[in-house]
A and B are shown apart, each in its own frame.
Chain A
Amino acid sequence: MINKTEVDQSPLDIIRQNQRLEERANFIKAIFLDIFFVFYSILVLQRAIYYKFILDLREIPFSWGSILTIFLISVFIGTGWTFTRTSLSCKLFGIAKDNKVTKWTVEISGWFLFNITFIAGWIITKLSIVDLFSPEGVQGAERLFGALFRPEFGIFDDALFAMIETIYIALLATLISIPITLVISFFTARNLMKGSKITFAVYFVLRLVLNFIRSIEPLIWAIIFSVWVGIGPFAGMIALLVHTIASNAKLYSEAIEGIEQGPVEAITATGANKIQVVWYAVVPQIVLPFLSFTIYRWDINVRMATIIGLVGGGGIGTMLMQYQGLARWHEVGLIVLMIALVVWIMDYISAKIREAIY
């Protein structure tokens, strides 16, 4: 906040100015949050609790007009609420009056928000104890479990081959991801990139792209790539690769952000340039976490590779899908057993390796 142009100002003025700016920013944030709180409460009360629960409507009436009306009402109430300086958001941003009214509003509105959220969740998920313990349902589950626990060993060879394919899909996705992630992670570490406006822009855009990629599940990526490169193990591998890069880049760059600043300071003080500082003070601190994340990710990828097979990503998942489609539960039982065994072994091995390198 302090620019060079302000250097000639008296320091006390700068402090006061900073405080004023911060307070104003917090007040604006509080207004938005209060409007959101009110908007959310009215919506939940009207839609979930009134329409769905009390009136028990199948089709909930929807019109942008009514939403807009509710929004305008919320803007009115929310802004008013913030101006009293006793609202929940005022408290959250530290600009509330310190009195009994604030204390009570915060407590009551906090409880209110939590409760309506919980009740709305209950209604929306159609939580039903009756369905869970209905006799027909339980019987069906018993039949299925019975078959699963008497697996068909006739397809053992095929399943083993498919399983090996799955493990290699996961391994290759992990291996290829390493160099790519390594490079990206330095550009998505806040502490390295906040220096200038240009680097910060790069950081911001990269983070945005990675967040977007990560927020799409590998399952969806597999569907996309099975159209792109055709159904099979390659589609599964590349889907895992994309997601692995996006997730690990986040973990790697968080490791970079969490390093001890001391060595960085020391190397900077010797007059070393940026690249030298990264190589000498940052890299030695992150080698072990990187290794550990990567091995753990391999373990996750084996699990994901089985799921990805369900949508045409190859390996054991594809096989599982076929037998499940034919309702041949004994074969499904064998495959599930095999997946469980491999996942358990992978889990154990990766934990042991990670223990060993630390």
Chain B
Amino acid sequence: MILKVENLHKIYKNGTHALKGINFEVKKGEFLVIIGLSGSGKSTLLRCINRLVEPTAGRVKFLGKDITHVTGEELRKVKTQIGMVFQHFNLINRHSVLKNVISGKLGQMKTLNSIFGNFTDDIYEEAYRNLDIVGIKEKAKERANSLSGGQQQRVAIARSLMQSPKLLLADEPVASLDPATSNSVMKFFEKVNKEFGTTVICNLHFLSLVRRFATRVIALKSGEIIYEGEPSEIDENWFKTIYGDEAEEVEIR
């Protein structure tokens, strides 16, 4: 068991009750996909796992250890083991692709070394290797914002790989990409999942992608889990329950 979430609540300061008692477990090597409408709490859930957002109540257990209340150095240790990829890539636009990838290693570097840019050859090698995995080694010297959306997201994946993460969180990683690019970016998550055995938890919108990549699915609706199971089991009825009666499934390949 790599992750266990127990009775997790999140209430924002403005009173929004984003998560209402979430319970689930994730086994090592799984590709778990979380689906649900915008505002259903998917992003909050991911951010509660790596503590970018502080949960209000409940417990998160990572590798058997309760990480809900760890702080300081210990919390940073936990964070270095959990990679994260975001919808808007969140790269440093003015930095080179290489420097962006290396920044994934910051948690394991000495502060002074990182500020003066003293990176060891090992780190450079690892960065190039990770860029190679996502297939954009030749872009290493270019500025991050000169790349296309799909390429930027691949840089973000390479950045998270620098952490050698046990768990990779992906918050709607393809929501700002076109369908063809979406598919290719998702394939890199699959590659990471299959080749390195990294557990992946990914928020997604498109059911066709869910069916293609997920080993298990959780559906959220207004902060509660309303479905948990195999991706193939999501039929027309479930789809309408999750996304509302108005919804119609859109195919992307």
Bound together: yes
- B17, B78, B81: which has the most chain A beta carbons within 10 Å? B17
* Contact flag A273-B111 (CB < 8 Å), given A11-B9, A15-B11, A266-B90: yes
Q: How far, in angstroms, from A12 to B11 measured CA to CA in the complex?
A: 9
A265-B52, A270-B79 given; A276·B106 CB < 8 A: yes
User: A276-B114, A280-B103, A284-B94 are contacts. A15–B15 as well, Cβ < 8 Å?
Assistant: yes
Task: Name the distance in Å between A348's Cβ and chain B's nearest Cβ.
Answer: 28
Per-residue CB contact flags for chain B residues 65-97 toward chain A (1 = under 8 Å, else 0) read: 000010000001111111110101111111100
What 1/0 flags go to A270-283 for Cβ under 8 Å of B? 11110110011100
Task: Determine if A287 and B52 form an interchain contact, defined as CB atoms under 8 angstroms apart.
Answer: no
Contact A275 B50 (CB under 8 A): no
Does residue B241 face the partner (Cβ distance < 8 Å to A)?
Answer: no
Contact of B52 among A7, A19, A269, A280 (CB under 8 A): A269
Determine the residue in chain A with the shortest Cβ distance to B50: A269
Contact B107 A14 (CB under 8 A): no
Q: Which of B84, B92, B105, B115 touches A284 (beta carbons < 8 Å)? A: B92
Q: How far is A30 from B163 in the complex, measured between Cα atoms in Å?
A: 52
Quick check: A272 and B52 within 8 Å, CB to CB?
no
Are B80 and A270 neighbours in the complex by a CB distance under 8 Å? yes
Contact with B along A1-41 (1 / 0, CB 8 A): 11010011001101100110000000000000000000000
Question: Known contacts being A11-B57, A280-B92, A280-B103, is A2 close to B13, with CB within 8 Å?
Answer: yes
- Is A137 an interface residue when CB atoms closer than 8 A count as contact? no
Q: With an 8 A cutoff between CB atoms, is B38 at the interface? A: no
Of the listed residues A7, A11, A273, A287, the one surrounded by the most CB atoms of chain B closer than 10 A to its CB is: A11
Mark B3-36 against chain A: 1 for CB-CB distance below 8 A, else 0. Answer: 0000001010101010010000000000000000
Q: How many residues of chain A are within 8 Å of chain B by beta carbon?
A: 30
Contact in complex: A14, B11 (CB < 8 Å): yes
Instruction: Verify B106–A270 contact, CB threshold 8 A.
Output: yes
Interface residues of A in 251-266 (CB under 8 A from B): 262-263, 265-266
Give B165's nearest chain A residue, CB to CB.
Answer: A270
A268-B79 CB under 8 A given contacts A11-B17, A15-B15: yes
* Other-chain residue from A2, A268, A270, A287 in contact with B11 (beta carbon distance below 8 A): A2
Which residues of B are found within 8 Å of A280, using beta-carbon distances? 92, 95, 103, 106, 114
Given the complex of chains A and B, what is the CA–CA distance between A7 and B7 in angstroms? 12
Tell me, rounded to whole Å, the shortest Cβ–Cβ distance linking A246 to chain B: 28
Question: Residues of B contacting A19 with CB < 8 Å?
Answer: 15
Q: Which residues of the partner chain A approach B57 to less than 8 Å between Cβ atoms?
A: 7-8, 11
Interface residue? B232 (CB, 8 A): no
CB distance from B119 to the nearest CB of A (A): 13
What 14 additional pairs, Cβ within 8 angstroms, besides A262-B88, A266-B90? A1-B13, A2-B56, A14-B11, A14-B56, A18-B13, A266-B84, A269-B52, A269-B79, A270-B80, A270-B106, A271-B78, A273-B76, A281-B92, A284-B95
